[in-house]
Amino acid sequence: MQNIKLYLDPGHGGRDPGAVGNGMHEADINLAVSLKLADKLRAAGITVELSRSKHNEFLSINERWQAANAWGATHFVSVHCNAGGGTGCETFVAKTKKADKPFARVVNDTFAKIMGLRNRGVKLDTKSFPGSFGVLRHSRMPAILVELAFIDSPNQLDITTLRNRREEMAAALAKGILNYLGVASEPVPQALFRVQVGAFAKRKNAEALLKKLRRKGFNDAFIAGGQ
């Protein structure tokens, strides 16, 4: 395998919390997902450098792309959360670097499919704030910026994903990145969704419902909690 050096950029940080919504700060999510992602990529043999690894670190846009260029990165991935009340995930590339679109497309499509999120596609930064995507425009290597989901979304799936599924997000991103790079990856565990059908103060009431469920064929039903 060729020497792949991936520069991983958790957006915002330090005095810049990024977008805020539903009791969450973007910078915290970006870092949590990126740290997990870095571990998974390293386990697959990829050399990874992070722009920041702590919550209190602040870097300017220029410092991020300059560090990636100086390090000699072969690929650049910036991790962010979206805002504006929408739903789903999308990935940006610089309008001046359209050759980066295949990289973005593989990562975005893989991530959306695994996470079950609305796929908003790959977009050029033409309609974005001029300074927001300097990391894409000035980096010398293929570079993408992933918007995981909307932090201020009214959609419960976006909220739950950002709050509770950070390990899954890292695994899905790793799968997409490694697929694009042609590097073998571990299967992503499928998420399990639990259904609760009752909550009781008295155990005998819970046991009665459990018996009823099992008579109906729900043999894996069980009682959780209590003493």
Instruction: Look up the pTM and report it.
Output: 0.81
Q: Is there a domain that residue 212 lies in?
A: yes
Same domain, 54 and 110: yes
CATH code of the domain covering residue 59: 3.40.630.40
Distance of alpha carbon 140 from alpha carbon 21, whole angstroms: 33
Same domain, 214 and 147: no
Predicted pLDDT of residue 7? 98
Q: Is there a domain that residue 38 lies in?
A: yes
Same domain, 56 and 100: yes
Predicted pLDDT of residue 191? 57
Q: Is there a domain that residue 189 lies in?
A: no
Same domain, 136 and 162: yes
Same domain, 102 and 138: yes
Same domain, 168 and 216: no
Predicted pLDDT of residue 227? 46
Same domain, 50 and 123: yes
All residue ranges of the chain with pLDDT < 50 are 227
Same domain, 121 and 21: yes
Q: Is there a domain that residue 213 lies in?
A: yes
* Neighbouring residues of 87: CB distance < 8 A, sequence distance ≥ 6: 117, 118, 149, 150, 153, 154, 155, 157, 158
Same domain, 206 and 163: no
Same domain, 172 and 199: no
Domain range for residue 127?
5-181
Distance of alpha carbon 200 from alpha carbon 226, whole angstroms: 9
Number of domains in the chain: 2
Same domain, 158 and 124: yes
Q: Is there a domain that residue 74 lies in?
A: yes
Same domain, 72 and 151: yes
Predicted pLDDT of residue 107? 98
Q: Is there a domain that residue 60 lies in?
A: yes
